[in-house]
């Protein structure tokens, strides 16, 4: 919702682009939050919390996370088309896709030792890299 609210506050207009970004953020955050929640499986069971990993098990939760991350890419790709992005944007998009893929390679159902690397480091890098390439793309029209 943040991209929609920020855009409305600044422009006073309602457009599809911030909705696409909000959808991307929704699915991206949902995907990495599921991965992070894998660590809390025992706590969730003990306290009868119905997290996705607790409800569906680790393997299915990881598949739900993958699907969520895949769904985050669709609105980002459409956004690129709508803003008539250049190759610079799509390099950032491709790097973001690669980082999401690496996250899912790092975390395994029977080995959660790399969850923090995937969650904190990779997600931080992914967001910064994608934003940087998007901004570079937007400013490329001035050079």
Tell me if 27 sits within 8 A of 67, measured CB to CB.
no
Confidence band for 137, pLDDT divided at 50, 70 and 90: very high
Query: Tell me, what's the pLDDT at 91?
Result: 98
* CA–CA distance, 86 with 88 (Å, rounded to integer): 5
Confidence band for 3, pLDDT divided at 50, 70 and 90: confident
Helices (H), ranges, 1-143: 2-11, 16-37, 41-46, 52-56, 58-82, 87-106, 115-116, 123-139
Confidence band for 45, pLDDT divided at 50, 70 and 90: confident
Phi/psi class of residue 38: alpha, beta or left (left: φ > 0; alpha: ψ in -120 to 50)? Answer: alpha
The count of domains in the chain is: 1
Confidence band for 42, pLDDT divided at 50, 70 and 90: confident
Tell me if 51 sits within 8 A of 39, measured CB to CB.
no
68: CATH: 1.20.120.1780
Rounded percentage of the chain residues whose pLDDT exceeds 70? 99
Tell me if 89 sits within 8 A of 74, measured CB to CB.
no
Q: What is the mean pLDDT of the chain?
A: 92
* Total residues found in the chain within this entry: 143
Tell me if 115 sits within 8 A of 38, measured CB to CB.
yes
**pLDDT tens readout for residues 110-119:** 888 888 888 8
pTM for this predicted structure:
0.89
Query: Tell me, what's the pLDDT at 35?
Result: 92
What is the span of the domain harbouring residue 90?
Answer: 2-142
CA atoms within 13 A on the CB side of 120: 5
């Amino acid at each position: 919702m943040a991209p929609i609210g920020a855009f409305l506050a600044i422009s006073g207009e309602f457009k599809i682009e911030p909705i696409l970004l909000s959808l991307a953020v929704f699915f991206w955050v949902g995907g990495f939050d599921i991965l992070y929640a894998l660590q809390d499986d025992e706590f969730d069971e003990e306290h009868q919390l119905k997290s996705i990993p607790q409800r569906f098990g680790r393997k299915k939760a990881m598949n739900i996370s993958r699907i969520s991350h895949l769904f985050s890419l669709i609105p980002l790709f459409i956004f690129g088309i709508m803003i008539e992005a250049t190759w610079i944007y799509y390099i950032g998009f491709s790097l973001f896709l690669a980082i999401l893929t690496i996250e899912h390679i790092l975390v395994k159902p029977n080995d959660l030792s790399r969850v923090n690397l995937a969650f904190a480091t990779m997600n931080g890098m992914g967001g910064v890299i994608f934003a940087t390439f998007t901004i570079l793309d937007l400013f490329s029209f001035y050079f």
